[in-house]
């Protein structure tokens, strides 16, 4: 265990925990607090307000404006890193010698600073970022955004070498761990932190399939369009899609399809209710980076999960889902799920064993702390 306070540098204000990256950060903070760690939290803010909840979990919380100068786009450093720099943050860190947890490659601007060389610093990687940005560029329709993503991917690939200055790397997936182990010595697989303490499966059956995600993100938009156009079009099963900022293309694709409903952005508790009520949580992805927190939510809160290979590969959750990689196979699998009765006690017990052990927030918080030893 850590005997001294811990600095955490977050790429965003991690409360409310309402999207993938900040969900991992927030529930990590809560778990470290439960273990008695005194946390000094540093957040880069760009639209999300200060949080009383964070104040209650941390010894101190500091907010720094993210610097969104367009001139950063022409720098050799990635924009997501360069825009998260702060002299004020550096001075605060140099006031003591406490260990530092940097959240994401985004937060590593100070990692190679000579004044930080003596510090115990661990980086929590949320993705292999250059692969993530390459894939965002691949699915982006706007030519200017596509250029930004692909240019940022090249910079991120070069910047990844900064991780050699970290004492340890906490990789969010087994696949990411393999990637980082090719170049860095101290890498540990630490699964995603999440809001679920136990598996809760509703009795009975649902009458719809459910897909959710931030629909302004290219990979989620691509998955939703594939479901609408390839899987559920002309299909006798009802699909509900929920997520913020759906694209015009998705809204148009749903129009006129009586079996498909597109809901506006929902609060997290409403999303969890829909996950629990659905007979089938259908979660394809065409980007296999990191681990999708929506998959954990579906398995902790929902009935049956229907995924494709990229969503579940190397997660340790393969046995808990039905897997199909073509539209036809997915339709057949969904029909099977919709006609199946409620989950039996053995299925639920197996799910509890896998999730409540391997994805225990407290156990995984201890793993993060072990990297500082």
Enumerate the H helices of the chain as residue ranges: 20-34, 52-57, 79-82, 87-93, 129-139, 143-159, 174-181, 218-226, 248-254, 268-277, 293-301, 309-312, 327-339, 345-358, 361-370
- Summarised one tens digit per residue, pLDDT across range 84-102 is 999 999 999 999 999 999 9
- The answer on pLDDT for 1 being more than 80 is no
- Summarised one tens digit per residue, pLDDT across range 150-188 is 999 999 999 999 999 999 999 999 989 999 999 999 999
Q: Which two tokens stand for residue 188?
A: 């540990």
**Band (356; pLDDT cuts 50, 70, 90):** confident
Burial class (CB in 10 A: 0-12, 13-18, 19+), 97: exposed
Measured at the CA of 265, the angle between CA 264 and CA 271, to 5 degrees, comes to 110
- The 3-class SS string of 247-316 reads CHHHHHHHCCCCCEEEECCCCHHHHHHHHHHCCEEEECCCCCCCCCHHHHHHHHHCCEEEECHHHHCCCC
pTM exceeding 0.85? yes
Of the spans 31-40, 129-138, 287-296, which averages the highest pLDDT? 31-40
Question: What integer pLDDT is reported at residue 363 of this predicted model?
Answer: 94
**Band (267; pLDDT cuts 50, 70, 90):** confident
- Summarised one tens digit per residue, pLDDT across range 117-158 is 899 999 999 999 999 999 889 888 899 999 999 999 999 999
Give the residue-averaged pLDDT of 248-262: 95
- The answer on pLDDT for 57 being more than 90 is yes
**Band (68; pLDDT cuts 50, 70, 90):** confident
* Structural domains of the chain in order of their starting residue, each with its CATH number: 6-195+360-370 (3.40.50.2000), 209-342 (3.40.50.2000)
- Summarised one tens digit per residue, pLDDT across range 201-212 is 999 999 999 999
Burial class (CB in 10 A: 0-12, 13-18, 19+), 194: buried
Question: What integer pLDDT is reported at residue 263 of this predicted model?
Answer: 94
- The answer on pLDDT for 290 being more than 70 is no
Question: What integer pLDDT is reported at residue 115 of this predicted model?
Answer: 96
Of the spans 18-22, 51-55, 215-219, 244-248, which averages the highest pLDDT? 51-55
Of 151, 331, 139, residue with least CA distance to 247: 139
Question: What integer pLDDT is reported at residue 268 of this predicted model?
Answer: 85
- Measured CA to CA, the distance from residue 127 to residue 195 in angstroms comes to 20
Question: What integer pLDDT is reported at residue 291 of this predicted model?
Answer: 67
- Measured CA to CA, the distance from residue 32 to residue 361 in angstroms comes to 9
Strand duo 121-125 + 100-103: pairing: parallel
Question: What integer pLDDT is reported at residue 139 of this predicted model?
Answer: 82
- Measured CA to CA, the distance from residue 244 to residue 94 in angstroms comes to 40
% residues pLDDT > 70 (the chain): 99
């Amino acid at each position: 265990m850590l005997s001294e306070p811990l600095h955490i540098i977050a790429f965003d204000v991690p409360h409310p925990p309402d999207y993938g990256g900040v969900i991992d950060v927030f529930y990590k903070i809560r778990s470290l607090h439960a273990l008695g760690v005194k946390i000094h939290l540093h957040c880069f803010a760009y639209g999300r307000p200060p949080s009383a909840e964070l104040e209650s979990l941390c010894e101190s919380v500091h907010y720094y404006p993210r610097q969104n100068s367009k001139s950063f786009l022409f720098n050799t450093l990635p924009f997501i890193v360069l825009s998260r720099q702060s002299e004020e943050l550096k001075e605060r860190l140099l006031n003591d010698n406490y260990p530092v947890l940097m959240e994401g490659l985004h937060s590593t601007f100070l990692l190679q600073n000579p004044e930080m060389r003596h510090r115990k610093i661990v980086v929590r990687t949320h993705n292999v970022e250059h692969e993530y940005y390459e894939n965002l560029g691949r699915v982006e329709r706007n030519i200017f955004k596509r250029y930004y993503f692909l240019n940022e991917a090249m910079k991120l690939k070069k910047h990844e070498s900064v991780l050699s200055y970290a004492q340890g790397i906490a990789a969010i997936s087994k696949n990411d761990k393999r990637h980082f182990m090719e170049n860095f010595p101290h890498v540990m697989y630490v699964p995603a932190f999440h809001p679920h303490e136990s598996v809760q499966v509703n009795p009975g059956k649902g009458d719809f399939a459910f897909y959710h995600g931030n629909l302004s993100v290219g990979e989620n938009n691509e998955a939703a369009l594939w479901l609408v156009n390839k899987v559920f079009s002309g299909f006798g099963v009802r699909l509900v899609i929920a997520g913020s900022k759906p694209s015009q293309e998705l809204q148009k694709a749903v129009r006129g399809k009586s079996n498909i409903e597109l809901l506006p952005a929902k609060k997290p508790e409403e999303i969890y209710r829909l996950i629990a009520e659905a007979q089938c949580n259908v979660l394809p992805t065409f980007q296999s980076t990191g681990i999708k927190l929506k998959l954990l939510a579906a398995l902790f809160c929902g009935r049956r999960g229907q995924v494709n290979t990229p969503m579940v590969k190397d997660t340790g959750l393969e046995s808990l889902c039905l897997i199909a990689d073509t539209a036809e196979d997915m339709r057949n699998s969904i029909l099977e799920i919709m006609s199946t009765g409620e989950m039996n006690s053995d299925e639920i017990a197996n799910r509890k064993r896998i999730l409540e052990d391997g994805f225990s927030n407290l156990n995984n918080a201890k793993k993060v702390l072990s990297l500082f030893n």
